[in-house]
Structure 1
Amino acid sequence: MTVTNAVSGTNVHEVADGIYRINTPVFFEGGPGGFSFNQYLIVDGAPLLFHTGPRKMFALVREAVASVLPPERLRHIAFSHVEADECGSLNEWLAAAPEAQPLCSGIAKLVSIDDLADRPARGLEDSETVDLGRHRLRWLATPHLPHAWECGMLFDETTQTLLCGDLFTQGGAQSPAVTGADILGPSEAFRRSMDYYSHTKHGDAMLERLAALEPHTLACMHGSAWQGDGAALLRALAVSLHE
């Protein structure tokens, strides 16, 4: 792991071949335990950043990206759904990477991003693929899972890595970059305390579709990335959501 900012603790760690987790721990005044924000950088012929981080974290995330590759090399700025930690610094990234394009769901492009962003987005339809060079990504529409109509996830078929956004969100600020330990228990405790899932009636089917991909790495947006039997973990999440 490389610490790229000693003051914030922002750090970079390669969690799969060519995929780097950028992590910034945060502590809220008067709040318990802290939290963390992750972005994922895929280094390839057409590099991709998944999640921009909040606008006020742009300088920290840019510094971290620059420790791996020149930010202007980015060609895709992708995100799961429209929230500040997902795409809050989108326009700052478009300025830093003049040849990059926003990458999101077709719904996000239609209802939000083509108005919010300084350049038009590429809106992905369900199962559409994006070739970065060595890495081939597939867009999986997951409306309302865990939340937001426009929600979706990217699956890297090359490394069996699921960029799963807010699934398996873990609290705390000091989690390891990658773990094979239990994250279902901590993430479900966090979910139950805030209830940020939409409770969509299609959740079981969407989780089973993700499980069928048999991911090896789950690139979580908050907390540790996880490695192991991703199919079993996703199915365990489906069971837990009914309890």
Structure 2
Amino acid sequence: MEHTGPATTVDEIADGIYRISTPVPPQDMPGGFSFNQYLVVDDRPLLYHTGPRKLFGQIRAAIERVMPVSRLAYIGFSHVESDECGTLNDFLELAPDAVPLCGQIAAMVSINDIATRPARAMADGEVISLGTHRIRWLATPHVPHGWECSMAFEETTRTLLCGDLFTQPGDANPPLTEGDILEASEAFRLQMDYYAHSPDTGMHLQRLADLHPATLACMHGSAWRGDGAALLERLSQRLAQRPVQR
């Protein structure tokens, strides 16, 4: 993936939370796509998702439009994939006081080996303060995929950093929408199903719904604002209708 498309954009989607998004046009990725990171600006700033290595220069420059990269205290992510944490060590090099922020399984099986500094391994339900913002960590193994998968909920703004949930295709999605994202994300999933379909999927989605998020910080496509509980419950219902594979 060589990025030749529009520049990386920065938009505040909730108080102190910025969506950093790089659109990838159809000539570089069929149908177009986008890679989003979320920057929580506070006394101890958090970058959630790093983006893949080929976008590192653009993402770094976009962060610098908001605050110095060197101020980062945490570099968090949902699970171990290139677009989640492909430039983790690059950011650790630029931010001397930063540490990886991930779940206990991710720290055990990958991050404490591949990262240049030990991870802050978060237990399920553990809360960490960034200053004004508070991050609650939620283990969601195999939802949507990966044993180590987890998500983060910012309690002050009720923003769910939901990783690959509600992935939307295309390279021209608005930064924040109140429109429907379920149909687009489901159509994309049915083309290339990236869910593990664990027996516990419904339980994990209900735990997320019970938080009543007001904003969903999606990793691909638009961030979304509205009744997050209702949308997560609709997603759970759709996944439960998945036909048996023969």
TM-score range, shorter chain: over 0.9
CA apart distance, 1:31: 4.8
State whether residues 17 and 41 of structure 2, in contact with CA within 8 Å, keep that contact through their aligned partners in structure 1. yes
- For the structure 1 residues 158 and 183, does the alpha-carbon distance in structure 2 shift closer, same or farther, using more than 3 Å as the test? same
Any residues of structure 2 matched to 1:149-168 within 5 Å, and which? Answer: 149-168=147-166
Deviations 1:118-147 (A, max 9, x none): 111111110011100000010000000000
Q: Structure 1 residues 191 and 84 mapped into 2: Cα distance closer, same or farther (>3 Å)?
A: same
CA contact (8 A) 2:5 2:23 kept: no
Matching of residue 94 in structure 1 with residue 82 in structure 2: no
* Stretch deviating more after TM superposition (158-167 or 23-32): 23-32
Q: Secondary structure at the match of 1:232?
A: helix
Whole-angstrom CA distance in 1 between matches of 2:240 and 2:205: 13
Match of 1:187 among 175, 185, 188: 185
Give RMSD over aligned pairs: 1.2
- Equivalent residue in structure 2 for 1:213, among 211, 214, 218: 211
* Pairwise CA distance, 1:55: 1.3
Give the Cα–Cα distance (whole angstroms) in 1 for the partners of residues 43 and 210 of structure 2.
28
Matched with 2:19 is 21
Q: Deviations over 1:20-70 (max 9, x none)?
A: 000000125475420000000000000000000001111111000000001
Residue number in structure 2 paired with 1:125 = 123
Q: Provide the rounded CA distance (Å) in 2 between the counterparts of 1:215 and 1:192.
A: 25
2:43 maps to which residue?
Answer: 45
Paired residue secondary structure (2:137): strand
Q: TM-score, normalised by structure 2?
A: 0.95
Whole-angstrom CA distance in 2 between matches of 1:29 and 1:217: 31
Gaps of 5+ in 1: 1-5
**Which runs of structure 2 are paired with 1:76-91 in the superposition (5 Å)?**
76-91=74-89
Unaligned segments of structure 2, at least 5 residues = 242-246
**Which stretches of structure 1, 4 residues or more, deviate above 6 A after TM superposition?**
none
Give the 3-state SS of the residue equivalent to 1:165 in structure 2: coil
1:203 partnered with 2:205: no
The CA distance in 2 between the partners of 1:65 and 1:27, in whole Å, is: 22
| Aligned mates of 2:95, 2:56 — CA distance in 1 | 13
CA deviations on 1:80-105 (whole Å, 9 max, x unpaired) are 00000000000000011010000001
Q: Specify whether residues 73 and 31 from structure 1 end up closer, same or farther in structure 2 by C-alpha distance, changes over 3 A only.
A: closer
Q: Which residue of 2 aligns with 1:236?
A: 234
* 1:227 counterpart residue number: 225
Q: What is the aligned partner in structure 2 of residue 3 from structure 1?
A: none
CA distance in 2, matches of 1:242, 1:61: 37
Secondary structure of the residue aligned to 1:120 is: coil
Residue 103 of structure 1 aligns with which residue?
A: 101
Report whether the alignment pairs 1:176 with 2:138.
no
Q: Which residue of 1 aligns with 2:141?
A: 143
How many residue pairs were aligned? 238
Distance in 2 (CA, whole Å) between partners of 1:136 and 1:89 is: 24
* Alignment partners' CA distance in 2, 1:30 and 1:101: 33
Deviation at 1:7, TM superposition (A): 6.1
Counterpart CA distance in 2 for 1:47 and 1:118 is 19
